[in-house]
Structures are given as structure tokens and as C-alpha cells.
A and B are shown apart, each in its own frame.
Chain A
Amino acid sequence: MAVSVPTSLAEAVSLLSGAPDSVVLAGGTDLMVEANSGHRQIASVIAIDRVPELRTWGVDVVRRNLWIGSGVPYSTVMQPGIASLVPALAQASRTVGSPQIRHVGTIGGNLGTCSPAGDTLPVLAALDARVHLASVSGERSVGFDEFMVGVKRTSRRPDELITGVTIPILNGWQGYSKVGVRNAMVIATASSCLAVDTDGRSVRIGLGSVGPVIIRCGEAEQWISGRVDWSELSVSNADVDEFGLRCGAAARPIDDHRSTAAYRRRAVEVLAARQLRRAFPNG
């Protein structure tokens, strides 16, 4: 097995474009599990943890965007720098695995795997983040909804490296909640990110583990955005409950060995309602 360790973005991109059957290794917390279980045959590896460009993050004050390189680990996302700008992403990162996993696991890896249970994905979906991809033929960016196309399926071409994400910085409450049977170090059986954009007067919500992709509840979002009293920043109890039900209706959960479809639907109903109440404490 050939392993290359590029030290610049240009080198990483050209290596991958030159050998698109290679696998990209970031923190390895998904990849090594697959490799060790024999589920994935690996011919050659491009290890990107020494590519400095991928490990940076920064703010574009003009566009009110946050850039996070794909190689940024969860432990960095949880720090106040990023947490103060996108608290939901920091909360999601805090729920990933254990301290060891959070220390090496990356946002790019979560996107690369693109499991419906990936914890950062509902946040990226709810915040309308864009995923940036690079290959020798150029760079492009796609909205998260176009990036994730199925269970562990993305629109990334094999020769493309995920370089990072840009996330709009919003005014308004946002939060991430995750249900698992254990109180930490658990894969989500259902999760939800709710974000409020007070300037744009909209509420967005992305649901995880309740469908093949992250589910944005467009209908429920529009409805509730019209029900919120934006001058008082309040919402009625009845509307909170109704919002939960509408989000639950948008979910497309399945039965599996982790949980049941009925429970998952109930869980997102409850999470959505509770998050909305947290966003608008006044009834």
C-alpha cells in the first residue's frame, strides 16, 4: 500500500487528481475502522494531516462567512473562536465520540463519510453551508444539500479534495441536539439543528439520522417563520407543538438495530419543539 504525505494543498490536489482511486486519510477515525474490518480495500493513501491550508479557519467579515478547513479537528471547533460564531457546530462537535476522537476527527472526514448520523451535517444543512472542492481542473463549491446525495453518498468526484466549508454567520439563536441511548460517546439515533436568522426572519432546521440524507423541513420552516412574532421574538405554545409535529412529518426514518422509525420520528418532534422554545423563550 502506497502512502503519500503531501505538505501543501497544491501537492495534495495534484496527487489525488493523478490517482483518483486513492483514498484520502484525514483523522482516520472512519477510514481505519473500515480498513481494519476489511470492508474497504485500499490501494493507496493520501494522508492530508500535514497540509497546513486545510487546518486553518477564518472569518470573512465582508461576506459574514466563516471558513473552516476540512482538516480542522472537532477539538478546535469547540474552542471559543469558532464556537462563538456558530455555536451549533461547536455543540455538534462536542457530541462526537470521545476526547480522543474529537482530537483527530475532522469536519472534512465527517463530510467525506457523509453518514446520515454524521453530527456536523445537520448543522451544515441548517446553516446553508457550502462545501468547497478542489482538483487540478479547478475549484468549485456546492451547497450542502447538493453535496450529500444519499446514505454515505456525495457529489464529490473521486479526483476532488474537500478543502473546507463556508458557513454564513447569523444573528439569532442556534443549537444542536442529539439523541442516543448513552449520554455521551454514541451514534445519533436522531438529531436536530435549529437556527434562527433574526435579520432574515427565518427559522431553519436540519434533521439527522431520520432519512437517507439530512432533512431540511422546508414546509415547517416557512410556516413557523410566519408564525413567530419577530418584534417580540416570541412564539405560542401551540405553534411550538405544531412545529414539532410538522418537522416529524418531514422525517423519513427507518427501523434498524439502533432504533425504530416510530421512535426516531417522535424524537425529532420533541427536539424540534424544544429547540424552538429555547430559541424563543417567550410564549
Chain B
Amino acid sequence: MGYPVTDSEVLIGRRNGLIGDSVIRPDGVEKVRGEFRFASDLPMEGALWGATLRSLHPHARIKRLDVTPAWAIPGVEAIITAEDVPGKSTYGLIFADQPVFASDVVRYVGEPIAAVAADHPETCRKALAAIVVEYELLEPLTDPERAVDGSHPPIHPDGNVIRHQRVLCGDSSATGPVVVEGSYEMGMQDQAFLGLEAALALPDPGGAGVELHVATQAMHEDLHQIAACLGLPEDKVRLVLAGVGGAFGGREDLSLQVHTCLLALRTGRPVRVHYGREESFLGHIHRHPATIWMRHHATSDGRIVKIEARFLLDGGAYASTSSAVLVNAVTHAQGPYVCHNAVVDGWSVRTNNPPCGAMRGFGVVQACFAHEGQMDKLAAACGLSPVEVRLRNAMRTGDRLITGQVIENVAPVERCIRETDALPLPDEPIGGYGDDPMRLPGGAGLTADRSHIRRGIGWGVAIKNMMYSEGFDDYSTARCVLEDGVATLKFATAEVGQGFVTIAQQIARTLLGVDEVRLDRIDTTIGSAGSTSASRQTWMSGGAVDMACRRVRERLFEHVGQLWATDPIRLVIEGDCVVDTVDPARRISVSDATSGVRLAETAEYHHPPTEPLDENGQGACHTAFAFVAHRAVVDVDPQLGLVKVVQIATAQDIGVALNPLSVIGQLEGGIAQGLGLAVMEEIVMQDGRIRNPSFTDYLLPTFLDMPAVLASLIEEPDPRAPLGAKGVGEPPCISVTPAIVAAIRDAIGKDLHRVPVRPQDICL
């Protein structure tokens, strides 16, 4: 049976799309016109619908689960529970501690208990309502401190502490004449990708295997976990990437994958599962809420002598990537500043709150909010400007981190700060010229007049690791085929909207002198590309595509060398031709040279190995680092607590701009997300329940909240990066949040230590 699903996604490249060009993305126009096919748009006649029954309680024992009433509903084709999971009953990215379906105990509101497949979503809804679950309520653990102090009994066999990690460095008794201290708090942010979770599973005849079309950000990570739970060999499970509408970390963990496959295998029919917005809030992990305490010891001229810090991250009910997020938090506690002595302690713990895991910035967002608050306190204590205190402490290539790791990357921290500082401040008065109310805090609500508003300026600077850490070999694989003047690339790199498909084509065009670069379907019929996260795909999959294309180019030169009886070492690509450098008149177009010839190479790119951390947090655990600075200008209504972010200036260490337009897109998008965290985005929790699982009440910044962005791209090619380019995805959202908060503090002269900053935090 042939399934008319995802077309083979052949995207034809365009001319002038070389490295360094601002190439328009192949999916851009379709997305703007609303024609892009997201995972929820896959055509499939006759597919059944699947839906998930979820826990209503943060912590409860399931006393009775009776699905029989649901079978009485016409149109119901399958009902599955924990008993129907043929393979491993749990999954997880680092520890497999999360059940596919809860069987004995539920540990968070929204935890899956059963799934149904039926002829219509409405039938599914009725079936779910008919399933009887009797709960015995247990005391929920919702205060993460109680997981640390051990005062709550374990809510999971693995215990309530997911990871405890110290970083001890230098002299723990070191101090200085200036000591500043602060406590910081961060609420739970959601990735809030616009394209909701969706998947379509197509069973092989006889249930021997399954093909899953899914919006994910980590094809092979999904594959390993799904196959284990299905009890199928990995070659019997095939993943195909369906159109992804954003990810930001929220698709790193499994959500509907196993359920959808199980329903398809059980019914022998194609099954689709789509989440709605509320279910999406329940169905994926979030950014860790954090409580952070920091104390900085410094010389009287503002140089850091020692940092002390304590991190507490609420990991929610299951481990997800909490242990890695914690390592990022504690190892980035110093920020992009030189520091020789440190006493850092961190916990990520289990509670009956929603599971938390990866989100853009991955632990560093939390650390940066705290260390940047500290830098401003330090500046004030030493009578320095926010810029000066940061410049005095800025780290450089060759500096040693508190983990003992030496920064081997390009580290232009000082340049990031200076170039940001050089960008012009807004020249318009508060409220702008003219009388557009949207230029004032409160906007269309007409709450304020110019005279009510105060302006403030604030700074944030960040260091962010890239790629995976602690000895993990997160390699990437790519294949390049050159035939008849056309290059075809194949990889399993999840395109989640970041634009890797554009970059891949640019690399191939540049290296191979071809115009047309086709992209094969993104699926698991090739080796892993790892996850589209950790700012890693341009470096990793870019590195793999680069390597595969270079090997094909070698083959091309050998081939032409044979034709011309010339040493291939003399040959280069110039424009669309192979040219003999010794006799430049001798040239042949790549398409002529490859007419009837097929040159194919597969490459695996591995980054340099990293080390695990020891119990004192020592070890060269990170692969590489990037740096960024942000300056925020905000207008605040101190009486009503409303904020309008007027301008963000930023300079980012990007290595090389492979596609400047794409870089700017990441910078602006990251700024929007960091702005959201600063002043509005929060999952409001109460007793383990999400109070605002909708876009009516989980507020995202819209176009109207977006400030002017001035950006300076710092291009110092990193010799350790395959293309000289660093990842640009995460840094933009990291230090913009503390910059905005600092600007609000500056405007109103009040200490703010929690994000998002709520109106009442400003005015009451």
C-alpha cells in the first residue's frame, strides 16, 4: 500500500545562493501565505483519529481504570493503556523514568493514562469521557525546596533529587572588599511554538513495523525511544519529518509519538493525533522555573574575586533533560567574566509540577538572569557604569572557566559590549513624535500620557555553550550526491523553522559550483544528525554537509583529472566550472563534467570530545562557546507597572554570517522570546495545576510589542568550527531578559528580582 503523505519535499535551490548570501528560505513564502504543510495538514484519507486521556490530579494513585464503557461508543476502534505497551514501559532522553501511560500512580496534571482511536475527533472525545478512572489522591509535592530538604517522601522510585552538582574552584575562602548578594527567581516559560504537536502513523502490513510522520526536533532520539517502547527493532520504525511549526526545545522529548504508533499498530490503520493548545501545554515540557541565590566578592575597582551561588531548578514530575540543564546552569554561573574562585551548588529536583526540560538557552537563561543582576549590583557598589564593570571582567580566549575548562574559542566579549554600546540610542522622545498611542506603555489601552512615563536603560551579556556536553558524542551525518550537474543532499536534520535547509543548499552550491541543490526527504533512512537544539545544527550538520560535499568535490577533481590526465590537486571550482589553476583556460562546467556520472559520499561530523564533570564540577565538559551583549531601552509607567520595550541593541559573536538574513531572523526572534520572559510569558501554577493553558492568558509578545532592534554581527571566524560559524540560535534570547529587567530597574529605581516582571512587581 502506498501512502500519499508527505511529498518527498524536493526543494529546488536558486541561483546566487552561496555562503554569505542572504538567501530566502525555501519554505518562507509558503509560510507567509499560509500554504506550508505543517504536520497537522498531512493529507490521509481514511485515517483514524487518536486522543489521549490525561490525569486530572498532580499526584494520585489510580485505584481503578475501566475502559469498557468507552467500547460501547460506536466508532471507537482501539483503547490502549499501560498494559498494551509491548516494549519498554518508560522513556526519557537521559533517564527512562517517564511512563508511556501511567499505570499505578499519576505524577502531574496531564500525564497520559490511556489513548483511544476512533473515526472522528468527537468520537474520541466521547470515548475519553466514558473511561472511568478512580483516583486516590496523594499529597502533591509542589515546592521544590521540599525535594531538596528531603521532607517529602519520594514521589518516584528514582527519588526526588534528579541531580545535585557542585562547582568548586580555587580558594573557597577568598573574598574582597566589595560583596554583593541577591536572590533571583524565574517563572515557568513555555516554548509556545505555533504549530501544535501532530503526527500520523502508518502501520506496516501485519504490524511488522510503522512509519511515523511527525513534527519533531530530534529524529533519531525519537526513533530510539519509540522503537524501545514499541518493542520493535529500530529498522522497523521509520520516522519522516512532517512540517514543524517551531520547537524551541519543546519537541526534544517524546509527546504523542509512541501513542500514535501504538494506536496504528493496534488498529492496522493510519492514525493521526493532533493536540490542541491546551493539550499542548499539558503535553510537552517547559522551561525550568528557578530560584537562584548569588554572592559576588570583588575588588573595590569591580573585579570579581569569587562567586558563590545556589541553583534550584524545578524539574517537575520526570527527569527529561533536567540533569543537563542543571549542568549548564551551574557551569555558566560566572557569566562571560573572569573568575578564579567559585563555590556553586545546584539541584534539579522532581516535583508534581509539569515536567521541565529543554528550552532555548537551556539552563543558561536562568544563570544569566542572576549573574547579570549581580553585575549591576557590583557596578552600583563600585560606582561604575554597567558597561564599565562588564568590560573590566570580560573573559577572553585562553581564560579558564570555573570548571577548569580553558576557552579555546574565539571569545570577543569585550567587542560584543563595545559594539553594542556604539549602537545609537533611540533619538525619539518618550512616546515618539506624533501621537500614536502604541508608542507608550499601555498602548491601545490609552492608560498613560507622556508625563507619566520614565525611561530606563539596562545591560545584559552572556556566554552560551554550544553542542552537547559531558562526553556526549552528538555527531551528525549527511550524504551528498552529485549527478548531471545537480547536487542532492540527504540528512536527518530536523528543520524546525531555523533555516538549516537554506544553509545546507548554500554550502553545497559554494563547494560544488552547482546551481541546483535538491534536498531529499528528511527521515531516518540515513544516520543520525542529532537534535536540532543546543545551537548545534549549523555547526554539526553544517559540518557534515560540508564534509560530504568536500569529499564529493575530491571525487569530482579525480574524475576531471582523469579526463584531462592532470593531477587533481591542480583543480579548483570557479563559478560553475572546474578549472585548472596551472592552465586557467582549461575549464569544464560541473554539469558537463558530471553528465552521466554519479558521485556519492556520506560523511559523519564529530566535534572534539568533551569530558564529564567530576563531583566538584571540574572538567572540560563543553564543546564550544558563543557570546552576546544586549542593551535595552524601556519606557515604564511606574504607577501602573506597564512596560514598553523601545529598543534593543545587540552585538553577537557569530563567527561567520553564512546567511545574514537568517542570522538577523534568529536575533530578532530570540529577542522577542527573551522579551516575553522578561515581561509577560509565564505558566501560572497553583497546586500543581496550570491556570492559564491558552493563548488568552499565556501572553506572548506580538508584533506590536516588538522593539526596534539594532544588531551588529561580530564576524571572527572560529577556527574550531567547520565553517567558521558559531550557532546563533540561543544567545539572542539569553541576555536580553536581564537587560530589559535592568532597564526597568533603572527607570523606576526599584530592585526587581523575578521574571516575568509583573505590573504589581513594579507599582505595588
Contact = CB atoms under 8 A, between A and B. Distances in A.
Bound pair: A and B?
yes
A183 B445 contact: yes
Interface stretch (A62-70, A161-169, A171-179): A171-179
B22 interface: no
B449 A278 contact: yes
Interface string B250-286: 0000000000000000000000000000100000000
B165 to A, nearest CB: 33
A79 interface: no
Given A259-B759, A262-B760, A263-B764, A183 B644 contact: yes
B438 interface: yes
A188 B679 CA distance: 16
Interface stretch (A103-111, A199-207, A220-228, A265-273): A265-273
A188 B442 CA distance: 11
A276 interface: no
A191 B447 CA distance: 9
A258 B684 CA distance: 9
A216 to B, nearest CB: 20
Contacts of B696: 187
B763 A263 contact: yes
Given A185-B702, A270-B639, A178 B448 contact: no
B278 to A, nearest CB: 8
Contacts of B641: 263
A180 interface: yes
Contact of B704 (A37, A184, A259): A184
Given A257-B691, A257-B697, A182 B705 contact: yes
B759 A183 contact: no
A256 B684 CA distance: 10
Nearest to A269: B639
A91 B446 contact: yes
B443 interface: yes
B452 interface: yes
Interface residues of B, dominant DSSP:
loop
B760 A259 contact: yes
Nearest to A182: B699
B522 interface: no
B447 A271 contact: yes
Contacts of B692: 257-258
Contact of A182 (B446, B448, B686, B701): B701
B444 A95 contact: yes
B448 A263 contact: no
B760 A260 contact: yes
B447 A177 contact: yes
Interface string B628-649: 0000000000011110100000
B25 interface: no
A188 B445 CA distance: 9
A156 interface: no
A184 B680 CA distance: 13
24 contacts: A94-B444, A95-B446, A175-B446, A176-B446, A177-B446, A179-B447, A179-B640, A181-B699, A182-B705, A183-B438, A183-B442, A184-B443, A184-B445, A187-B697, A191-B445, A257-B691, A258-B697, A263-B760, A266-B763, A266-B764, A267-B640, A270-B447, A270-B639, A271-B447
Given A181-B679, A183-B644, 13 more contacts: A37-B278, A95-B445, A175-B446, A183-B444, A183-B445, A183-B704, A183-B705, A184-B445, A257-B692, A258-B692, A267-B640, A270-B447, A274-B452
Interface of B: 125, 278, 438, 441-449, 452, 639-642, 644, 679-680, 684, 686, 691-692, 696-697, 699, 701-702, 704-705, 758-760, 763-764
